Chains A and B, each alone.
Chain A
Amino acid sequence: MIALRNGGSARRSICMAAIGLSIVSTAAWAESSRVTVIRADRLYLGNGKIVSPGVLVIRDGRIAEIGVDTKTPDGATIIEIADTTVTPGLIDANAAVEASDLLAPDRRMHPRTWHDFFTPGHHHTATPDCCGSTCPRSMQHVSGTRCMACGFPEANTENAFAVGTKPRVSLAEQSSEVIPDTLVLDTTNLRSPDFDRLLRGGVTTVFVSSDSAAVIGARGAIVRTGGPVDRRVVRAADAVKATMGTDPSWRGGGNRPPVRRFVSFRNRRPTTRMGVTWVFRKAFHDTLRHRDGVETYGADPVSDSAIAVLDKLLRGRIPLRIQARTQHDITTALRLTAEFGLSFTLEEATEAYRCIDLLEAAEVPVVFGPIYVRARGDRRFSSEVEQSRLHTFKTLLESDLMTALTANELREEDGLARQAMYAMRFGLTRAQVLPAVTSVPAKIIGVADSIGTLEWGKRADVVIWQGEPFDTTSRALVVLIEGEIVLDRRAG
């Protein structure tokens, strides 16, 4: 039977789709079309509707039929596993994907600052050193060189933790604070095993987000996590990411406090929230001046190619995203964007629960996450995570704000499905959470016409979960992207 929990209109649309489809299928589609049929106990369509038990027919990579007792065409691949649930492929609207552009240790590097000079073990010999298990690249390090992956030898050593230094790590371009003319896709290795990890967590499409080291960072990309590499990129140059707060000051290693031997972009603004705001405002001021034909001047000039992108931002042709964690940074973001008439999507929003009304007034879409009590990863070095609350996502979801959930840099068992589980544990239902990891992020990143829900004609990015999705005992068994199986754990 069809169990529709959200009204009857969906039943009609499904039936009509099925009827329309059966006509089309006999007329237009030839025998050679590739058909996959998935039978499951439950189909969660991602828009709040459930079909149980259900049959999903995929023809040539598109969803062709959703029904209860659909006839199986000849030659179709049938996937039928006991006690499973089918959902749309999860979408992470703010994924920090491991890139492979890490700066190779440079043997010729000399100590640049007194800080370098006095850091123990910094320039002794050329014998390789190991930084310990937390280096994301597990790389062999060379004394006298700083690892751009983990900051070794400045961080990740016991001593470094003891004195509280932060990893000065960034994949972002460091030669300027305003780099919207660079693309995250250029730094993203589409063959990175990180995409496989996302896939194992049931995530099929991600917005690859820029690093937060620059005030106005690179343009993100929308990519699929599986399938042929040459078909993975959905959008190569998407939203520009700006960052409020302290990340631009300490990430990237350039913003050293002023014991400076010489002036370089390695010792650069900003070192405070004042500086961050100054850089942001100046960039857009420069753009407006450039538009008026007035020559720009002053410190930290913005490159012409960056101004071209900022101009499109001001005209609303490129979306803007702003990472802000604390209430103060969120309000700063709202102030600055109001000043320039910009609309934006808020990232992270750790303290959003403290300014829900302001956000609602500005109608800002929010990509919230991850949910945590104690931050992990690089976030643990930030002072902005102390007021994190487990109920924030519930507060956001119950407000008028369009809210998506992200796992950011967390993967596999810690990934987006686990974040959804946390959200359910802290007061939300599965029906509330599922859209926040499927259809809502699809809307926020602007791909809702092709993915995000299981509907006729949409791309067949589908996850088959063991049991109920987001349960502690559930995991992704089979993942299909465009109707092709890209992950298959049926064997175990």
Chain B
Amino acid sequence: MMRGHIEKLKRPKIETSTYRNDCAYGLRLFDFSIFRRLVVVALLIGVGIGEVAAADTTVLVADRYVAPDGTIKSDILIVVANGRISRIVPEEPEGVDAKPGVVDHYPGAVVCPGLIDVRSAVGAYGSNQEEAFAIDPGASAIELVDRNHPVFRAAAVAGITSVLLMPGDGNLISGAAAVVKTVVVDGKGARRDSRTSSSRTSRSRSSGRRGVPGVVRDDGPLVFSLGQSPLRFDRAPTSRGGAVAMLRESLRKAKDGVGHQRLVDFVGGRLDGLVVCDEAMDVDAAVNLFGGMNLSLTLVFTGAASDVSAGLSDVFRATATGPYDYTMSPNALSHAAALAKSGNLVALVARAPGGAPDGLRVTAALAARYGLDASLARSAMTFSAARAVGVADRIGSIEQGKDADFVIFSDDPLRLDARVLAVYVDGVRVYSRELEETP
């Protein structure tokens, strides 16, 4: 397995961590509430989840967490087993004594689901654009993934645990995107900074059919582009009229079962899609092309949302917008709010690695400042983003059975002074600020 980036996580001083060991922590800083939590943990490990505790179990305790609806709620205890969330205890039940297990406790911190950037080229090796044909549904972005690419690490440290790696938008149909984790946690490399030397069972679901590790999905969504980018001097289409006509013809043929299987699946509603639009008229074209087909389609739109936001939710399951920065006009920054107001599920994108790793949070913070509800802004980086690209059954929220991808923020992730304290991927702490930054 490609483990180069995991090797970087190996730090000799990990064993001296003060955060991790619950006993040491308890002795050093005795606090009744903490004590109570520990009792609960012990109860869970000893009684509730005995069979899981035998495997690799981590317990996360924090004062606040980001709920699936994006609101920040207080007090959570998450039991992680085999890389997934096996149990959540949002409140503190009456405790009984039992042997304490391995507990990561973050007093005052906010546990957030790992952030997701749904329009990125993170980790792509070489060009992400196959340029010969404008209609190229057979291309797969997963083939581009370089698991050793350093930008994966940069994204992970910023709290982004999954990205949608998109084939370039220079074709009308660019192929299938892939959702990959920014850190691979393989079977043997569990919990580098843990004293528990567990032998984790390898999770086959994180390794795609194509043998690339750290994959959430490798078969889509199918990426369409209706902006200027597919128009070229040296191959059809050279114009928007030609572009739309070509797409219309491909979709018509696919309805008759002619064409690449992915396109046939797409028009049949068995594969979801992602359509990139730059301007309002591109969105009009998308609505004309795809409206009334009952597709599972996400709009990625960077233009003026106030022109088009009404009626989009009839055609698109979600709308992704961004990235935002401080140089943009208030009008542009209020697009996310306008989209949400007219009933669209809003996801935010950072287009990493084009921008700074923190671009996703900056985008969300600016969207919130310009009218997007704060809980929607948090959700737009997590659960809404996961729904927008069809992976909400695995990532994007802290719910039982989902992948244990978390970011521990020192405060509300929308506060830009909040720092990433730790990042977990598949239940493994892959980054700890204290461990990595303490000299």
Instruction: Specify the chain B residue showing the minimal Cβ separation from A171.
Output: B239
Number of B residues near A (Cβ < 8 Å) is 26
Residue B238 at the chain A interface, CB threshold 8 Å: yes
Complex contact A101–B239 (CB within 8 A): yes
Closest CB of chain A to B51's CB: distance in Å? Answer: 58
Which residues in window 256-270 of A have CB below 8 A to B?
264-266
The stretch among B108-116, B242-250, B322-330, B379-387 that forms the contact with chain A is B242-250
- B16 to chain A minimum Cβ distance, whole angstroms, is 52
Q: Does A442 contact B (CB under 8 A)?
A: no
Beta-carbon contact of A186 and B236 below 8 Å: no
- Would A112 and B241 count as touching, CB distance under 8 A? no
Contact string, A74-104, partner B, CB cutoff 8 A, digits 1/0?
0000000000000000000000000111011
In the complex with contacts A99-B240, A171-B239, A173-B242, A109-B281 CB distance below 8 A: no
CB distance B244 to A183 under 8 Å?
Answer: yes
A 165-192 to B, binary, CB cutoff 8 A, 1 in contact else 0: 0000011111110010111101111110
Determine how close the nearest CB of chain A comes to the CB of B284; give it in whole angstroms. 7
Q: How far is the CA of A99 from the CA of B239 in the complex (A)?
A: 11
Q: Give A11 to B202 CA distance when docked, in angstroms.
A: 90
Q: Which residues of B contact A119 (CB under 8 A)?
A: none
B393 part of interface (Cβ distance < 8 Å): no
Interface residue? A134 (CB, 8 A): no
Q: Which residues of A contact B148 (CB under 8 A)?
A: none
State whether the Cβ of B366 lies closer than 8 Å to any Cβ in chain A: no
Q: Which of B233, B238, B307 contacts A191 (CB 8 A)?
A: B307
State A229–B229 Cα separation when bound (angstroms). Answer: 25
A173's contact among B228, B237, B285, B311, by CB below 8 Å, is which?
Answer: B237
Contacts of A146 in B (CB 8 A): 233
Evaluate contact between A173 and B239: CB separation under 8 angstroms. Answer: yes
Write out the residue numbers on chain B whose beta carbons fall within 8 Å of the beta carbon of A171: 239-241
Q: Which of A187, A236, A264 has the most CB of B within 10 A?
A: A187
| Measured CA separation A100–B307 after assembly (Å) | 16
Contacts of B231-265 to chain A: CB distance below 8 A: 231-245, 249
B232 touches A101 (CB 8 A): no
The reply on B49 being an interface residue by CB < 8 A is: no
Chain B residue nearest to A303 (CB atoms) is B249
Contacts of A170 in B (CB 8 A): 239
CB distance from A243 to the nearest CB of B (A): 15
Whether the Cβ atoms of B245 and A104 lie closer than 8 Å is no
Tell whether A305 is near chain B: CB-to-CB under 8 Å: yes
In the complex, which residues of chain B have a beta carbon less than 8 angstroms from the beta carbon of A176? 236
B130 is an interface residue with CB less than 8 A from chain A: no
State the Cβ distance, A263 to closest chain B Cβ, in Å.
12
Closest residue of chain B to A175 (Cβ to Cβ) is B236
Please, which residues of chain B bring their CB within 8 A of the CB of A229? 284, 307
Tell me if A175 and B240 are in contact (CB < 8 A). no
Inter-chain CA distance A133–B35, complex, in Å, is: 75
| Complex Cα gap A4–B281 (Å) | 46
Residues 362-383 of chain A, each 1 if its beta carbon lies under 8 Å from chain B, else 0: 0000000000000000000000
CB distance from B316 to the nearest CB of A (A): 16
**Complex: how many Å from CA A263 to CA B342?**
50
Q: A103-B228, A181-B249 are in contact. Are A186 and B235 (CB under 8 A)?
A: no
Known: A101-B231, A103-B231, A109-B233. A184 touches B241 (CB 8 A): yes
Indicate whether A103 sits within 8 Å of B234 (C-beta atoms), given known contacts A179-B245, A191-B280, A191-B281: no
**Residues A179 and B242 in contact, CB atoms below 8 Å apart:** yes
- The residue of chain B having its C-beta at the shortest distance from the C-beta of A146 within the complex is B233
Residues of chain A lying within 8 A (CB to CB) of residue B219: none
Given the interface pairs A106-B233, A109-B233, the reply to whether A175 lies near B242 with Cβ below 8 Å is: yes
Q: Which residues of A contact B232 (CB under 8 A)?
A: 103, 106
Contact with A along B417-436 (1 / 0, CB 8 A): 00000000000000000000
C-alpha spacing A101/B234, complex, angstroms: 16
Asked if B279 CB lies within 8 Å of chain A CBs, one says yes
Tell me, in angstroms, the Cα distance from A172 to B244 when the chains sit together.
12
- B239 engages A104 (CB within 8 Å): no
> With A174-B238, A175-B236, A181-B249 in contact, do A190 and B281 touch (Cβ < 8 Å)?
yes
- In the complex formed, the residue of B with least CB distance to A213 is B239
**Interface: A218 (CB within 8 A):** yes
Residues of B near A266 (CB, < 8 A) are 233-234
Main secondary structure of the interface of A (DSSP, over half): loop
Which of chain A's residues have a CB closer than 8 A to the CB of B228?
A: 101, 103-104
Please tell me if the beta carbons of B245 and A173 are within 8 angstroms of each other in the complex.
Answer: yes
Query: Which of chain A's residues has its CB closest to B280's CB?
Result: A191
What is the chain B residue whose CB lies nearest that of A176?
B236
For A191, list chain B residues within 8 Å (CB).
Answer: 280-281, 307
Residues of A within 8 A of B239 (CB): 101, 103, 170-174, 182, 187
Residue of A nearest to B229 (CB): A104
Query: Which residues between 144 and 176 of chain A lie within 8 Å of chain B, taking CB atoms?
Result: 146, 170-176
Do B241 and A179 have beta carbons less than 8 Å apart? yes
- Give the distance in Å from the alpha carbon of A196 to the alpha carbon of B176 in the complex: 41
State in angstroms the CA–CA spacing of A305 and B240 once bound together.
17
Q: How far is the CA of A186 from the CA of B307 in the complex (A)?
A: 17
**Chain B residues numbered 267-289 whose CB sits less than 8 Å from any CB in chain A:** 279-281, 284-285, 288
Cα–Cα distance between A106 and B228 once the two chains are bound (Å): 11
Tell me, in angstroms, the Cα distance from A182 to B238 when the chains sit together: 12
Tell me the complex Cα distance, A174–B280, Å. Answer: 24
Give bound CA distance, A176 to B233, whole Å.
13
Residues of A within 8 A of B279 (CB): 100, 189
Q: A318: shortest Cβ distance to chain B, in Å?
A: 15
Chain A residues with Cβ below 8 Å from B236 are: 173-176, 265
Q: Closest CB of chain B to A113's CB: distance in Å?
A: 12
Return B18 CB to nearest CB of chain A, in Å: 53
Chain A residues with Cβ below 8 Å from B233 are 103, 106, 109, 112, 146, 266
Residues of B188-229 at the interface with A, using a CB-CB cut-off of 8 Å, are: 228-229
Could you say which residues of chain B place their CB within 8 Å of the CB of A305? 245, 249
Please state if B245 and A186 are interface contacts (CB–CB under 8 Å).
yes
Interface residues of A in 230-285 (CB under 8 A from B): 230, 236, 264-266
- In the assembled complex, the CB of B338 is this many whole angstroms from the nearest CB of chain A, namely 15
* Residues on B with beta carbons closer than 8 Å to the beta carbon of A106: 232-233
Per-position binary interface string of chain B over residues 357-389, scored 1 when its CB falls under 8 Å from any chain A CB and 0 otherwise:
000000000000000000000000000000000
Given the known inter-chain contacts A103-B228, A104-B228, A191-B280, please indicate yes or no for A175 contacting B235, CB distance below 8 A. Answer: yes
Q: Report yes or no: B238 in contact with A173, Cβ–Cβ below 8 A.
A: yes
Closest B residue, CB atoms, query A106: B233
Of the candidates A100, A187, A265, A303, which one forms a contact with B241 in the assembled complex, judged by CB atoms under 8 Å apart?
Answer: A187
B234→A264 contact, CB < 8 A: yes
Q: What residue of chain A has the Cβ atom nearest to residue B249's Cβ?
A: A305
CA of A191 to CA of B239, assembled, Å: 18
Given A100-B279, A100-B281, A191-B281, CB of A183 within 8 Å of CB of B241: yes
B245's partner among A174, A182, A190 (CB-CB below 8 A) is A182
B280 to chain A, nearest CB (A): 6
Task: Name the residue in A186, A218, A230 with the highest tally of chain B Cβ atoms < 10 Å from its Cβ.
Answer: A186
Docked Cα-Cα span, A181 to B242, in Å, equals: 8
Give chain B nearest CB distance to A298 CB in angstroms.
Answer: 19
Residues from chain B with Cβ under 8 Å of A236 in the complex? 288
Give the residue of B234, B241, B288, B307 whose beta carbon is less than 8 angstroms from that of A172: B241
Nearest A-chain residue to B287, judged by Cβ: A230
- Quick check: B245 and A103 within 8 Å, CB to CB? no
A186 touches B234 (CB 8 A): no
Q: How far is the CB of B310 from chain A (nearest CB, A)?
A: 8
CA distance A65 to B281 in the complex (A): 38
> Could you list 10 examples of A-B contacts with CB < 8 Å?
A103-B232, A173-B237, A173-B239, A175-B236, A175-B237, A179-B245, A188-B281, A191-B281, A236-B288, A264-B234
Residues of A within 8 A of B (CB): 99-101, 103-104, 106, 109, 112, 146, 170-176, 179, 181-184, 186-191, 218, 229-230, 236, 264-266, 303, 305
List 9 additional A-B contacts (Cβ < 8 Å) besides A106-B232, A112-B234, A181-B249.
A101-B231, A170-B239, A173-B237, A173-B242, A174-B236, A175-B237, A176-B236, A179-B242, A191-B307
Closest 5 interchain pairs by CB? A173-B242, A175-B236, A101-B240, A186-B244, A182-B241
